[in-house]
Structure 1
Amino acid sequence: MHMAEGKRRLAREDWVAAALDAIADGGVAAVAVEPIAARLGTTKGSFYWHFPNRAALLEAALAQWEERTTTAVIAEIANATEDPADQLRTLIVRVIEAAERDRVGPALLAAAGQPAVARAIDRVTRARIGLIVTVFSRLGFPLAEARSRALLAYSAYLGHAQLAHSTEGVLPDTAEGRRAYLRDVISVLAAQGGPRASDT
């Protein structure tokens, strides 16, 4: 039996991409075989060619999200420049832009009680904070303070992501406003002589 002309065989990556779209649109519960098959215009048979069950599809989708939003970003920042100040600027701009585009991350945080999701969030969070600690350490901050500032930076990132997806008009929406906002973020996070972790 030949496939209809112009219709290609779906690849594993098509199912993963559709699962991520489903998470963005309806949360982790939306990762269900039949609705995603309908979204792709195919049958469950195509799914079982690539995955043994729904759990395997969810794991693959989580791995793809982790690669796209964390592993690739860490590699990009590490290779971007040798100057840690430039790395910090690049990192902040990159993650703020990503926070505004990534609709999967907030949906995953809402489902953090599910074991597979919790494991992915734990890996991503630790990797991201580890990168920020490294950048602050390279800027000359002692390790304890680098970690304290990294936690502050990551908390600010999560807050930014929440605002970007939940409260329209709060974040700056002009190019000039965004530049000023980013300058302020960088200035606060990298300021010398601020409160140290040992002071608290």
Structure 2
Amino acid sequence: MAGRTPKVTAETWIDTGRRSLVEEGIGAVKVDRLASRLGVTRGGFYHNFKDREDFLAQLLAHWEETCRFLPDEPPASRPAEAADWFCNVVDRLIAADGYDPQFDMAVREWARSDQRAAWAVERADRMRLATLQRFFEAVGYNADEAKIRARVFYYHQIGYYALGVRESLTERRRNLNFYMEILSGPGVLAAARASEGKPRKIRARG
């Protein structure tokens, strides 16, 4: 029918919820406000979701599925390949390729007042840290130091976004090698690439 407003899909509602969460916080993610933002009535919302709780659960699932801090593929066990994986991680974070830091920070803020969101954040953090630990073990660190180095890298990066540090893409890339050398350990990535898959143990520095 000519002039009829097309139906708003569940994906559009979710994306609108994401933008509202990022811009205004969880208090703004309400049915009437989302409908107003979309220029439609509340009825379309209930065509896609049972209620606001169902919508919030799907919004949280959307965050878990799409806001990927690390690549889907875990690091390889061979040092040289693991080093390449780590470089890819850093490059993705700088380019915000697959990871939306604003969405991530908004969900973390939401988690302060919602247990379900807090569990999701805890689950994501645990998985991300475990994957980073695998990388550090792959380049030769023992399990204890690999665990701590994973935390240092992860907490540094999350803190970077939480503090709202503002740097141009050019500046971030200019400082990239310094960060990678400090966070991975002096000479570790170069040694891993040169190892051609040969095990190389790195002593914890006391």
TM beyond 0.5: yes
DSSP-derived class of the 2:7 partner: coil
RMSD over aligned CA atoms reads 2.6
Residue of structure 2 in register with 1:117 after alignment: 117
Within 5 Å, give how 1:1-200 maps onto structure 2.
2=1, 4-5=3-4, 7-70=5-68, 73-75=70-72, 83-98=81-96, 101-113=100-112, 114-163=114-163, 165=164, 167-168=165-166, 171=167, 173=168, 175=170, 177-191=171-185, 192=188, 196=205, 199=206
Scaled by the length of structure 1, what TM-score is found? Answer: 0.82
Q: Is the 8 A contact 1:77 1:91 kept in 2?
A: no
C-alpha separation between the residues in 2 aligned to 1:150 and 1:28? Answer: 30
Cα deviation code 1:88-127 (max 9, x no counterpart): 1111221244399532222222232211210221121112
1:41 deviates by 1.4
| Paired AA for residue 71 in structure 2 | I
When residues 186 and 87 of structure 1 are mapped into structure 2, their CA distance, relative to the original with a 3 A threshold, is same
When residues 15 and 174 of structure 1 are mapped into structure 2, their CA distance, relative to the original with a 3 A threshold, is closer
1:183 deviates by 0.8
When residues 51 and 138 of structure 1 are mapped into structure 2, their CA distance, relative to the original with a 3 A threshold, is same
Scaled by the length of structure 2, what TM-score is found? Answer: 0.79
C-alpha separation between the residues in 1 aligned to 2:2 and 2:31? Answer: 22
What stretches of structure 1 of length at least 5 have no aligned partner?
A: none
User: In the comparison of the two structures, how many residue pairs are matched?
Assistant: 187
C-alpha separation between the residues in 1 aligned to 2:75 and 2:37? Answer: 37
* Larger helix fraction of residues: 1
Identical pairs, percent: 26
Q: Is the 8 A contact 1:10 1:46 kept in 2?
A: yes
